[in-house]
């Protein structure tokens, strides 16, 4: 105290401020210490009490929509005694098909070659009934078959029948793999997902009410879905080439149903 009395007024002022600051810092330290050990103690108490009730609930959401895209394959199959003849005919007919598609409004990016195959054709002699066999048993090359397949996407489903008929008349003699699809399904998937989550939430609330509990936080979530695949459509419906004017088949897209299933684990309080 004697030393303090010898301080000047300015020194006394700064000494008081220093002491006050130390007191404040010490109090803050005590508060932090209490919070830290209090939180740890609370966690320990919760652990002693045991884990909370957790229940998994399933939810389902469905959204139906009319397809706006038709995907298919159209093939040109030709045969010739020589490879050049078979290729020439196949090229002419394939070009005629692609030209028709362009004129019908099918854009270039929606037409691509899916496969191009060349198959040699052979004739095989009949089995020799009299031994020793005097006939030549070696298979003989008789010609070639060219198989050119185009993968086509038609974005105007209302014109699908007309386009299919025109492609066959232009030279395609095999049509298969028709698949109706939705061009941008993400928005529909999101809608189905929301319905599935709402469905799960409703089930959880009813279950909690029956158990005398309250629905707490979500501790786990899982999702799965079903999205329609190809819809079968017989290639024979379009014929395999030939003359005459063909009637356009009525293409019925129907509806595609997008289904999302969710599994939600709730904490019940």
- CATH number of the domain residue 219 falls in: 3.30.110.170
User: 212 and 128, same structural domain?
Assistant: no
Could you report the per-residue pLDDT of 158-174, keeping only the tens digit for each?
Answer: 899 999 999 999 999 99
Q: Does residue 199 contact residue 136 with C-beta atoms inside 8 Å?
A: no
User: 44 and 85, same structural domain?
Assistant: no
Reported as a pLDDT band with limits 50, 70 and 90, residue 136 is low
Q: Over range 187-216, report the average pLDDT.
A: 93
* Structural tokens at position 231: 């819809």
Work out how many domains the chain is built from and give that number.
3
Q: Does residue 152 contact residue 71 with C-beta atoms inside 8 Å?
A: yes
Looking up residue 96, the CATH number of its domain turns out to be 3.30.70.2970
User: 171 and 139, same structural domain?
Assistant: yes
User: 38 and 96, same structural domain?
Assistant: no
Q: Over range 38-56, report the average pLDDT.
A: 66
Does residue 13 form part of some domain? Answer: yes
Query: In this predicted structure, what is the pLDDT of residue 109?
Result: 94
Among 22-31, 174-183, 186-195, 211-220, which is the least confidently predicted range? 22-31
Q: Does residue 101 contact residue 165 with C-beta atoms inside 8 Å?
A: no
Reported as a pLDDT band with limits 50, 70 and 90, residue 223 is very high
Does the pLDDT of residue 194 top 80, yes or no?
Answer: yes
Does the pLDDT of residue 205 top 50, yes or no?
Answer: yes
Q: What's the whole-model pTM score?
A: 0.61
Full domain range(s) for residue 26: 2-49
Reported as a pLDDT band with limits 50, 70 and 90, residue 19 is low
More confident residue, 39 or 2: 39
Reported as a pLDDT band with limits 50, 70 and 90, residue 43 is low
Q: Over range 92-97, report the average pLDDT.
A: 96
User: 94 and 155, same structural domain?
Assistant: yes
User: 108 and 38, same structural domain?
Assistant: no
Q: Does residue 144 contact residue 89 with C-beta atoms inside 8 Å?
A: no
Q: Cβ neighbours of residue 246 under 8 Å, at least 6 residues apart? A: 165, 168, 169, 238, 239
pLDDT-above-70 percentage for the chain = 72
């Amino acid at each position: 105290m004697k030393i303090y009395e010898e301080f000047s007024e300015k020194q006394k002022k700064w000494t008081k401020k220093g002491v006050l600051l130390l007191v404040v810092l010490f109090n803050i330290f005590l508060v932090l210490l209490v919070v830290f050990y209090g939180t740890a103690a609370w966690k320990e108490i919760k652990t002693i009490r045991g884990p909370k009730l957790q229940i998994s609930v399933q939810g389902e959401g469905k959204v139906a929509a009319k397809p706006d895209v038709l995907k298919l394959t159209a093939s040109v199959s030709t045969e010739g005694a020589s490879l050049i003849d078979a290729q020439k005919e196949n090229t002419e007919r394939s070009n005629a098909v692609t030209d028709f598609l362009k004129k019908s409004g099918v854009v270039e990016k929606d037409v691509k070659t899916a496969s191009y195959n060349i198959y040699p054709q052979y004739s095989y002699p009949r089995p020799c009934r009299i031994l020793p066999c005097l006939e030549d048993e070696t298979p003989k090359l008789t010609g070639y078959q060219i198989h050119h397949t185009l993968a086509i996407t038609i974005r105007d489903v209302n014109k699908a029948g007309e386009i299919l008929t025109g492609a066959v008349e232009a030279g395609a003699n095999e049509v298969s793999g028709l698949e109706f699809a939705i061009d941008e399904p993400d928005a529909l998937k999101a809608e189905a997902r929301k319905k599935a989550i709402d469905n799960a939430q409703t089930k959880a609330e009813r279950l909690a009410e029956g158990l005398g509990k309250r629905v707490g936080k979500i501790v786990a979530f899982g999702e799965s879905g079903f999205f329609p695949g190809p819809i079968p459509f017989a290639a024979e419906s379009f014929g395999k080439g030939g003359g005459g004017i063909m009637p356009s088949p009525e293409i019925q897209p129907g509806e595609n149903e997008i289904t999302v299933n969710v599994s939600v684990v709730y904490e019940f309080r």
